[in-house]
Amino acid sequence: MFNDDIAAISTPPGEGGIAIVRLSGSEVISKIALIFKPYRKEKVIVEQPGYTMHLGWLLDNKGDIIDEVLISIMKAPHSYTGEDVVEINCHGGILPARQCLQAVLEHNIRLAEPGEFTRRAFLNGRLDVNQAEAVIEIIRSKSEKALKLAIKQLYGHNRQQIMNVEDQLLSVISLIQASIDFPDEVGEVDDFEMVNRLDELEKTIENILLAAQRAEVYRQGINIAIIGKPNVGKSSLLNALLKKNRAIVTDIPGTTRDIIEEYLILEGIPIKLIDTAGIRYTDDIVERLGVEKTEEVLQSAELVIWILDFASGITEEDMAIFNRINGKKRIVLINKEDLESNITEAELQKLFHDDIIIKASVKEETGLNDLTKCIVEMAVSGEVGMEQLEIMLSLRQKNLFLKALNHIKEARKSVELIPLDCLAVELSIASEAIGELTGKNIKEEVLDRIFHDFCIGK
């Protein structure tokens, strides 16, 4: 099926300046020549060089004009897929793109499957499997930092790290295999050297996994719930962080009766901020429903900003909320620092000595920089080493690294306990996992899973 000529709309649906219909395959240039009428009648499309664009009319099977288009010609192997590629640039909008695609499909060209253009790039050696996975990461990037990490992966950064692990692993396996095959010439394996090599290999993989864990926050972002009793400044904090009046703010307790969700980017991290209803007992049925929704939000939030009030002091309502968020990753923000304080340092140290405490006045916009800095630090907390290695891994890549690591650890524990051939088997399983990371022994069903989530046309 990967010898077929394929086509798909590569731009998102909706109105726009242009839409692009992409074609790939060995005969797409000759087939597009059948339905493309260039402005310059003497121009023969099949004779045009690669990396050229041509203006003209696209025709249907009756010879009627569909649209005025620009076609781009890219010839194998110097194209995205490694095959001949034609891109039809038509006017934006759902109907022009669909009609152009329909005209193309009537010439023995089939509709591409999701991710098939990128899959062909992999099969034709234009991209390795890690670069192919980077394409979807680029498309889905929610922040500049996530985009930068995905582009590093596209340019082979992940492959360099994987090849480093593979080289270390193969060196250990070669040492063992040589001792098994040529015991007289090579001699016995030095257990101390073997343990040191496996320790170094473990540390390399663990550093990669730890760096990937840090980078995950740039891909997925974090959910932050702003909670507290009524009228402590939750909605004011939301507005201040967003730098716009998103939530209604009044002096009347219980103004917020539903959750309000907004998004912002803090130092490359996508943040979903959730302003919640003030938690308290109330007879108002609408406000009570809002409090119930707050409880639901708390379950899914990765981080909680719990707001106290300098002026009102620490009340029973506050302590009831504190008990509800026990065990949650949290920041204690004490608001209204500009007012007379009814909270002492002794109280704070006694009750919240294990928490991060930030004193602020949302009204006066003090303490907000400390808060945002704290959010970022908590989101990407953890030491990585290796000069702050940055790497983004897919779930597939992470699981393969973990599989390799587990077998390396088993080998490390068994260096002095099992025969060399058993040790070699353990490390060979780890090598197979790394080989799947590089794409050397990747299976067809794995490729299907990788490209399943791609959009049609990419």
- Other beta carbons within 10 angstroms of residue 58's beta carbon come to 22
Residue 451 lies in a domain: no
Q: Up-side HSE of residue 261: CA atoms within 13 Å toward CB?
A: 9
Are residues 356 and 272 both part of a single domain? yes
Half-sphere exposure of 360 (CA within 13 A, CB side): 29
pLDDT of residue 383: 42
Mean pLDDT to the nearest integer, 386-393: 70
Q: Burial, 328: exposed, middle or buried (Cβ in 10 Å; 0-12, 13-18, 19+)?
A: middle
Q: How far apart are CA 28 and CA 4, in angstroms?
A: 10
Question: Is 282 a domain residue?
Answer: yes
Max CA separation in the chain (angstroms): 89
Q: What is the pLDDT of residue 418?
A: 67
Greater pLDDT, 167 or 381: 167
Q: Given this model, what pLDDT does residue 294 score?
A: 66
Mean of the per-residue pLDDT values of the chain: 83
- Cα–Cα dist 271/265, whole Å: 6
pLDDT > 50? residue 386: no
Q: What is the pLDDT of residues 371-380, one digit of tens each?
A: 998 988 888 7
- Provide the pLDDT for residue 23: 97
What are the angstrom distances between the C-alpha of 86 and each of 7, 64, 320? 9, 21, 65
Quote the pLDDT of residue 278: 59
- Tell me how far apart the alpha carbons of residues 381 and 373 are, in angstroms, rounded to a whole number: 12
Domain-located, residue 452: no
Give the domain-ending residue among 99, 127, 155: 127
pLDDT-based confidence at 248, cuts 50/70/90?
A: very low
pLDDT at 259: 73
The 3-state DSSP composition of the chain as helix, strand, coil percent (nearest 5) reads: 45, 15, 35
Q: What is the pLDDT of residue 254?
A: 45
* Same domain flag for 231 and 347: yes
Do 56 and 89 form a contact (C-beta atoms < 8 A)?
no
| Statement to judge: residues 35 and 116 lie in one domain | yes
pLDDT at site 382: 47
Which amino acid, 444? Answer: E
pLDDT tens-digit readout, 179-232: 776 666 656 767 788 888 889 999 999 999 988 888 888 887 888 888 888 888
Rounded mean pLDDT, 332-349: 83
What confidence tens digit (pLDDT) does each residue in 51-71 have? 999 999 999 988 999 999 999
Q: What is the pTM of this model?
A: 0.71
Domains of the chain: total: 3
User: Is residue 103 situated within a structural domain?
Assistant: yes
Residues 332 and 248 in one domain: yes
234 and 177, same domain (yes or no)? no
Query: Is the pLDDT reported for residue 451 higher than 60?
Result: yes
Strand partners, 425: none
Q: Check pLDDT > 90 for residue 446.
A: no
Taken as a whole, the chain contains a residue count of: 458
pLDDT at 231: 81
Q: What is the pLDDT of residue 385?
A: 42
Q: Strands 36-38 and 260-266: what pairing? A: unpaired
Domain assignment of residue 426, yes or no: yes
Q: Is residue 226 located within the same domain as residue 195?
A: no
Q: Are residues 111 and 153 in the same domain?
A: no
Backbone angles phi, psi at 86, to 5 degrees: -125, 135
What is the predicted pLDDT for the residue at 91?
Answer: 94
Closest alpha carbon to 134 in 441, 426, 396? 396
Residue 86 has pLDDT above 90, yes or no: yes
pLDDT attached to residue 246: 58
Residues 22 and 151 in one domain: no
Last residue in a domain, options 379, 405, 425:
379
Share of the chain above pLDDT 90, in %: 29
Same domain for 62 and 94, yes or no, is yes
Tracing tokens 């692990």 back to the chain, one arrives at 165
Both 40 and 122 in one domain: the answer is yes
CATH number for the domain that contains residue 160: 1.20.120.430
Closest Cα to residue 106, out of 166, 63, 47, 56? Answer: 63
Q: What is the pLDDT of residues 1-54, one digit of tens each?
A: 668 999 999 998 888 889 999 999 999 999 999 999 999 988 999 999 999 999
Q: What is the pLDDT of residue 218?
A: 83
Give residue 437's pLDDT: 86
Residues 446 and 458: their CA atoms lie apart, in Å, by 18
Determine the Cα–Cα distance for residues 379 and 393; give it in Å rounded to an integer: 17
- 3-state SS string over 169-233? HHHHHHHHHHHHHCHHHHCCCCHHHHHHHHHHHHHHHHHHHHHHHHHHHHHHCEEEEEECCCCCC
3-state secondary structure of 74: strand
CB atoms within 10 A of CB 244: 10
Cα(276)–Cα(458) distance, integer angstroms: 40
State the DSSP string of 27-52. THHHHHTTTEEESSTT--GGGSPSSE
Q: Supply the CATH number for residue 301's domain.
A: 3.40.50.300
User: Is residue 337 predicted with pLDDT exceeding 70?
Assistant: yes
Same domain, 111 and 150: no
Asked if 279 and 324 count as a contact pair (C-beta separation under 8 A), the reply is yes
The CA distance from 339 to 344, in Å, is 14
CATH number of the domain at 119, please.
3.30.1360.120
Q: Flag whether 110 is in a domain.
A: yes
Tally: H helices and E strands in the chain? 16, 13
Neighbours of 271 (CB within 10 A): 22
Q: pLDDT tens digit string along 267-312?
A: 888 888 888 765 544 555 544 555 567 677 777 788 888 888 888 8
Output the CA angle 448-451-453, nearest 5 degrees: 115
End-to-end CA distance of the chain: 17
Q: Are residues 20 and 122 in the same domain?
A: yes
pLDDT at 335 over 50: yes
Higher-confidence residue: 81 or 235? 81
Mean pLDDT value across residues 427-442: 85
Structural domain harbouring 359: 221-379
More confident residue, 423 or 431: 431
Assigned domain for 256 exists: yes
